[in-house]
Structure 1
Amino acid sequence: MDASISLFELGWQTYFQQQLSLDDLELHKIARVCQVESSQYALLSENGLISLSKHTSQPNMTIGDWVVVDAASQFVRKLDRSALFNQDQHLIASNIDTVLIVSALDESFNLDLIKRYLELVHDAEADAIVVLTKADLCDSVEEKRDQVQRLNPLLMIETVNTKSDEPLEALKGFFKKGKTVAILGAPGSGKSRLVRSLIDVEADTTHFSVKQDALFRLPNGAVLLDSPALRELQANEALSAVSGLEKVAKLAEKCRFNDCTHSNEPGCAVKQAVEQGELEEQRVKAFKRSSFFQDDDGGQKSKPHDKFHRSAHSEARARKHSLSE
Structure 2
Amino acid sequence: MDASISLFELGWQTYFQQQLSLDDLESHSVARVCQVEPSRYNLLSESGLIHLSKDVSQPNMTIGDWVVVDGDNKFVRKLDRSALFNQDAHLIASNIDTVLIVSALDESFNIELIKRYLELVHDAEADAIVVLTKADLCDTVDEKREQVQRLDPLLLIETVNTKSDEPLQALQDFFKKGRTIAILGAPGSGKSRLVRSLITLDSDLTHFSVAQDALFRLPNGAVLLDSPALRELQANEAQSSISGFELVTKFAEKCRFNDCSHNNEPGCNVRKAIEEGELDEQRVKAFKRSHFYGEDDSNQKSKPHDKFHRSAHSEARARKHSISE
Corresponding position of 2:280: 280
Q: Where does 1:280-319 land on structure 2 (aligned, <5 Å)?
A: 280-295=280-295, 301-313=300-312, 314-319=314-319
1:227 partnered with 2:227: yes
Corresponding position of 2:14: 14
1:137 partnered with 2:132: no
Corresponding position of 1:109: 109
1:156 partnered with 2:156: yes
1:121 partnered with 2:121: yes
Corresponding position of 2:184: 184
Q: Which amino acid in structure 2 is aligned with residue 29 of structure 1?
A: S
Summarize deviations over 1:162-220 as a string: whole Å, max 9, x none.
Answer: 21121011111110000000000000000001100110000000000011000000000
Structure with more contact order per residue of length (Cα contacts < 8 Å, sep ≥ 6): 2
CA distance in 2, matches of 1:316, 1:269: 40
Question: 1:266 deviation in Å?
Answer: 5.2
Corresponding position of 1:27: 27
In the alignment, is the contact (CA less than 8 A) between 1:293 and 1:300 conserved in 2? no
Q: Which amino acid in structure 1 is aligned with residue 40 of structure 2?
A: Q
Q: Which secondary structure does the structure 1 equivalent of 2:175 belong to?
A: coil
Summarize deviations over 1:232-276 as a string: whole Å, max 9, x none.
Answer: 011111111111112112222333455544445554433333343
- State the TM-score, normalizing by the size of structure 1: 0.94
Corresponding position of 2:218: 218
Q: Which secondary structure does the structure 1 equivalent of 2:150 belong to?
A: helix
RMSD: 1.9
Summarize deviations over 1:135-158 as a string: whole Å, max 9, x none.
Answer: 111111111111111111111111
Q: Which amino acid in structure 1 is aligned with residue 10 of structure 2?
A: L
Q: Which secondary structure does the structure 1 equivalent of 2:316 belong to?
A: helix
Q: 1:317 to 1:141 in 2, by over 3 A?
A: same
CA distance in 2, matches of 1:156, 1:179: 17
Structure 1 stretch 199-208 or stretch 65-74: which is displaced more? 65-74
Q: Which runs of 5+ in 1 are unaligned?
A: none
Q: Which secondary structure does the structure 2 equivalent of 1:204 belong to?
A: coil
Corresponding position of 1:198: 198
Q: Which runs of 5+ in 2 are unaligned?
A: none
Q: 1:15 to 1:299 in 2, by over 3 A?
A: closer
Corresponding position of 1:58: 58
CA distance in 1, matches of 2:40, 2:58: 11
Summarize deviations over 1:110-149 as a string: whole Å, max 9, x none.
Answer: 1111111111111111110010111111111111111111
Q: Which secondary structure does the structure 2 equivalent of 1:129 belong to?
A: strand
In the alignment, is the contact (CA less than 8 A) between 1:293 and 1:304 conserved in 2? no
Q: Which secondary structure does the structure 2 equivalent of 1:234 belong to?
A: helix
CA distance in 2, matches of 1:96, 1:309: 17
In the alignment, is the contact (CA less than 8 A) between 2:15 and 2:319 conserved in 1? no
Q: 1:256 to 1:324 in 2, by over 3 A?
A: farther
**Aligned residues between the structures:** 324
In the alignment, is the contact (CA less than 8 A) between 1:3 and 1:46 conserved in 2? yes
In the alignment, is the contact (CA less than 8 A) between 2:122 and 2:308 conserved in 1? no
Identical residues among aligned pairs (%): 79
